[in-house]
Structure 1
Amino acid sequence: MEKTKLLIVDDHHENILFLSHLISGEDIQVLSAKSAEEALSLLMNHDFALALMDVQMPGMSGFELARLVRALKKTRHLPMILMTSRQQDRSVLFEGYDTGAVDFLFKPLDPHAVRSKVRTFVLLDQQRRLLNKQVQEMEFLKKKAEEANVAKSHFLANISHEIRTPLGAVLGFADILSQDKLSDSERNEFLAVIRRNGELLLRLIDDILDLTKIEAQRLEFEKKEFSLKDLLKDVEASLGFRATEKGISLKIQSCDRNLTFVSDPLRIKQILFNVIGNAIKFTTKGQVDVQVRVEDAILERESCEARRVTFTVRDTGAGLTVDEVQKLFKPFAQADVSTARRFGGTGLGLVISQQLAQKLGGDLKLISSEVQVGSVFEITLVLDTVEGAPQVRTPVVSHSDIASHSLEDKVILIVDDVSDNRLLIDRYLRPHKVRLLQAGSGVEALETVCESHVDLILMDIQMPLMDGYEAVQRIRKLGYEGPIVALTAHAMREETMRCIKAGFDAVLTKPTRRQELVAVIQSWLSEEPLGHQSRQPELLQ
């Protein structure tokens, strides 16, 4: 803490030296003045905790100085102790207190009295300064909390819009499909609209979940071997259509070498989709250019070698103001509310992408931006090279594999308390001619397993009365050794691990896609499981 400043005002140098010796300390700085004029100059330039002022001085007396100190805005609350030898003159005391003095010291000065009184005011000043600091911190935190509340209010309003817009399309076109007579081309077009908006809703939910995982430091990454060139082709194919729709061009200039890395390709795609997609969204004319540079230098890591890969994304879009730049990577703070209305989006994409890039050993930065000229973003990632990199190879099940292994007459039990979910699974599996048994609860599932032969069980986790965790444990205790696949809406890795620990063989995250569901069932029910050397628990998200 800053030293406490004390002021001594006395026209006798010996008195100043004596007092300074008495009240000096490690936490105290003593300044002195030999006249009222000199004292006023010090008072204007310093913040004092206490002033010790002699009453009898040539020129302006201590009483006059005290009145002036009380009249000045800067010093009106300064505690003043007056020093006088006229101890018996009560009029001096009355006048002193009338001027605003808080106490008196009588000459000859008693060292113990001086130290005691001064120490009291020093402690009071230290407490006052500490309290003022805490008040300032509280005001700062209050301001930040208010700003966060405003940002979250805008975010929630924007989220409502982002949910209701695609939901309106899904419900509206579903209504049209159920009531109107349509041509095959119209029906296919409307189904594509429903599917596209459903995917949009799913991405929105995934963004919010990713942000939650990031803030809880629970984000997990996979290690897979992938081709950088193929990954960039996928990104260009997906986003190129969006750019063409807007009448702008998208160019991704990659290195000629077909390099293979080991990292999380889905997370890398997520970063690129967010950053390049953002550039396309805010560009109404011109183009979006992406340059990819792989550094030749090899980076040594704990268990393998790696290279730094840089993606530079340059657009000719709206650009950012100084205020917008400051909010760019803050959660819930899209650059401007009007921006959200005009271009859509939640404002989470860049926040999530920056966190993902940092988790992958790199970063996401705004290099430059100018309003109505465009912006330049730079993504850097540190990716493991194939040689010696630890990786998890995900079994791949092709369409031909699925088609060549029939599921006909296999008995599958679907356990879910929501009838719509059971109906969906039924429709997914009907072309494969399986025998489907249904249970609306964990209790019904137990009864079915006891009464019927079952080849595989698909089980929801969150059910009333008996959840999936308890149900799978009870089914295992009954002696059932067949595969049990969890169907869960909880996309957290902790939930996945809990499922495996409870006794499930595989975990699928809702919404479950037909191809993925059939592939998993086929891999467990074929004579030689597809893509598996042994029937180990399978984590699919």
Structure 2
Amino acid sequence: MLTDNKTKLLIVDDLAENLLALEAVLRQDDRLIFQAKSGEQALALLLDHDFALAILDVQMPDMNGFELAELMRGTEKTRHIPIVFVSAAGKELNYAFRGYESGAVDFLHKPLDVDAVKSKVNVFVELYRQRQETRRQLRALEKSRQVQEELVKELQTTHGELQTAVRMRDDFMSMVAHELRTPLNTLYLETQLRKRQLDRGNTALFDAAYLSKMVERDQRQIKSMVRLIDDMLDVSRLRSNRLSLQPTEVDLPELLGRVVDGLSNQAMASGSSITLTPAAPLSGHWDEFRIEQVIVNLLTNALRYGGGKPIEVSMCTTQEGVRVDVRDQGVGISETDQPRIFEQFERAAGNDGTGGLGLGLFITRQLVQAHGGKLDVQSRVGEGSVFSVHLPLIPPEEVRM
């Protein structure tokens, strides 16, 4: 049997023969008997071990059994150990009364009744074991309770996350349906009108000017739907870490000029304009398609919330690389909303129904970060916003693909 599983008993007597005789009576395979020939030795053992019972001889030199018992009762570690006194003195000395006053649970007179000693010690050993088992069970119950509390907290957290996920899914599906329905309805109505004119034989209406406008309108609606679908695909790729970058040498001022020119008609249609501040030639090692997507997203966002006011695009070099600023003079964004607008499906409070899935800025920041850069915003309500793209000229090795 392992030592840790054995019950420990302490016997204290200044005579070696008494210790040997008492140990012989108490010895069992599931017990460890510790001997002490003085009160000082007993105290040292009491501080190092957890005993089920202490059997103390009353009459010992230097420190008698009663004095040792008083010290034991005054120490937190030993005050709960049952004490049995043993004495060869006659009953007329009334030692038993003093022993019980000292906190003893029993008083034995020599010569000892072996069977009585064994029986009484067995009772105390069994009580000790029952206390130990009770403590063990209480510790196990407490640990189980703590585990259950943690599980409940985890379940509550998971439940909340699931509810949020379900709500986001429902909101997302509602937004997708709404955003796709608008261009689809426009295309459907236009198709119906054309079909009606064709059924009536009014082919003369379909001259070059009409066809040009028709194709332009159709392209605009189709591009709107394609962009929504591309945004959803990009989010899926980002979530699964399947977004691939193909860095090449990119002339940034040329890219900015191309994007601004491409959006000039859209800006004009919204009553706005986009101005690009001239900049010195600068090249970097980026994924050209993704950097163009970043600038397009920011300019489209500025047109959407810019209130028809002019938009400015500028770039400058920094210690880390290059910074591109997109400045609008629109409604602005509150400090509370600024961190939130970069999350999925989020738009600034007070959105005026300008549409969108709330994915553009989330995707934009992820694309910038994929290049080892960062995207931030400075804004005040009613004073417009400045979105700044910070890019290293060469992305860190770990983000190159």
Provide TM-score, normalisation by structure 2.
Answer: 0.62
Partner of 1:222: 246
Rounded to whole Å, the distance in 1 between the matches of 2:323 and 2:278 is: 10
Identity %: 26
Distance 2:275 2:72 in 1: 82
Offset of residue 155 of structure 1: 1.4
Partner of 2:359: 348
Name the residue aligned to 1:140.
Answer: 157
Shift of 1:120: 1.5
Amino acid at match of 1:373: E
Is 1:320 matched up with 2:337? no
- Asked if the contact 1:169/1:193 (under 8 Å) is kept, the reply is no
* 1:14 has 2:73 as partner: yes
Match among 350, 358, 369 for residue 358 of structure 1: 369
Deviations 1:130-173 (A, max 9, x none): 21112112211211221222122111111111111111122222
* Change in CA separation of 1:195 and 1:20 when aligned onto 2, cut-off 3 Å: farther
Distance in 2 separating the partners of 1:217 and 1:128? 39
Residue in 2 that maps onto 1:258: 281
Instruction: Measure, in 2, the Cα distance between the counterparts of 1:377 and 1:273.
Output: 12
- Does the CA-based 8 Å contact 1:155-1:333 persist in structure 2? no
Alignment equivalent of 2:225, drawn from 174, 194, 201: 201
Structure 1 residues 286 and 265 mapped into 2: Cα distance closer, same or farther (>3 Å)?
same
For residues 110 and 313 of structure 1, what CA distance do their matches in structure 2 show? 80
**What residue in structure 1 maps to residue 293 of structure 2?**
270
Q: Indicate if the aligned counterparts of 1:243 and 1:250 stay in contact, CA closer than 8 A.
A: yes
Partner SS for 1:354: helix
2:391 partner letter: L
What SS class does the counterpart of residue 18 from structure 1 fall into? coil
**Structure 1 CA distance for aligned equivalents of residues 242 and 231 of structure 2:** 14
Distance 2:310 2:157 in 1: 42
4+ residue stretches of structure 1 with deviation over 6 A? 19-22, 106-109
Deviation at 1:186, TM superposition (A): 2.6
Paired with 2:347 and 2:158, the residues of 1 have a C-alpha distance of: 21
Alpha carbons of 1:213 and 1:14: their partners in 2 closer, same or farther (altered >3 Å)?
A: same
Shift in alpha-carbon separation, 1:127–1:258, aligned structure 2, 3 A? same
User: Given that residues 151 and 333 in structure 1 are in contact (C-alpha distance below 8 angstroms), is that contact kept between their aligned partners in structure 2?
Assistant: no
Contact 1:177 1:190 in 2 (8 A): no
Query: What pairs up with 1:236-255 in 2 under 5 angstroms?
Result: 236-255=260-279
Number of residue pairs aligned between Structure 1 and Structure 2: 280
Structure 1 counterpart SS, 2:332: coil
Q: What corresponds to 2:135 in structure 1?
A: 118
Unaligned stretches of 5+ residues in structure 2: 1-70, 82-104, 106-122
C-alpha distance 141-329 of structure 1, shift in aligned 2 (>3 A):
farther
Residue 147 of structure 2 aligns with which residue?
A: 130
Match of 2:192 in 1: 175
1:20-50 Cα deviation digits (max 9, x unpaired): 999xxxxxxxxxxxxxxxxxxxxxxxxxxxx
Amino acid at match of 2:286: S
Greater relative contact order (CA < 8 Å, ≥ 6 in sequence): 2
Contact 1:166 1:200 in 2 (8 A): yes
Q: CA deviation at 1:177?
A: 2.8
Q: Secondary structure at the match of 2:393?
A: strand
Residue identity matched to 1:283: G
Going from structure 1 to structure 2, the CA distance change for 1:382 and 1:189 (only over 3 Å counts) comes to same
Whole-Å separation in 2 of the counterparts to 1:314 and 1:115:
73
Q: Which blocks of at least 5 consecutive residues in structure 1 are unaligned?
A: 1-11, 23-84, 86-105, 298-306, 386-390, 393-541
Q: Is the 8 A contact 1:211 1:352 kept in 2?
A: yes
Alpha-carbon separation, structure 2, partners of 1:371 and 1:141: 36
Q: Which residue of 2 aligns with 1:283?
A: 306
Task: Determine the C-alpha separation between the residues in 1 that align with 2:329 and 2:167.
Answer: 31
Separation in 2, partners of 1:144, 1:245: 42
Q: Classify 1:16/1:333 alpha carbon distance in 2 versus 1 (closer, same or farther; 3 Å).
A: farther
Partner of 1:375: 385
> What residue identity is the alignment partner of 2:73?
E
Instruction: Select the residue among 167, 170, 191 that pairs with 1:150.
Output: 167
How far did residue 263 of structure 1 move? 2.4
Aligned residues of 1:177 and 1:187 also touching (Cα < 8 A): no
Paired residue secondary structure (1:311): strand
Instruction: Provide closer, same or farther for how the CA distance between residues 199 and 249 of structure 1 changes in structure 2, counting only shifts above 3 A.
Output: closer
Kindly provide the CA deviation profile for residues 155-196 of structure 1, in whole angstroms up to 9, marking residues without a partner as x: 111111111111112222223233323252233212210111
**1-side partners of 2:297 and 2:80: how far apart?**
68
Question: C-alpha separation between the residues in 2 aligned to 1:143 and 1:178?
Answer: 51
Question: What is the deviation of 1:197?
Answer: 0.8
Q: Which has the higher helix share?
A: 2
Query: Following TM superposition, by how much is the alpha carbon of 1:364 offset from its aligned partner in structure 2, in angstroms?
Result: 1.8
Q: Residues 51-200 of structure 1 correspond to what in structure 2 (within 5 A)? A: 110-180=127-197, 181=202, 182=205, 184=207, 185-200=209-224
Structure 1, residues 300-322: CA drift from partner, whole Å, max 9, x if none?
Answer: xxxxxxx7221122322223345
User: What per-residue deviation string (whole Å, max 9, x for no partner) do you get for residues 514-541 of structure 1?
Assistant: xxxxxxxxxxxxxxxxxxxxxxxxxxxx
1:363 is displaced (CA, Å) by: 1.9
Q: CA deviation at 1:358?
A: 1.2
Secondary structure of the residue aligned to 2:353 is helix
Letter in 2 for 1:218: R
Q: In structure 2, do the counterparts of structure 1 residues 213 and 164 end up closer, same or farther at CA, with 3 Å as the change threshold?
A: same
Contact 2:72 2:78 in 1 (8 A): no
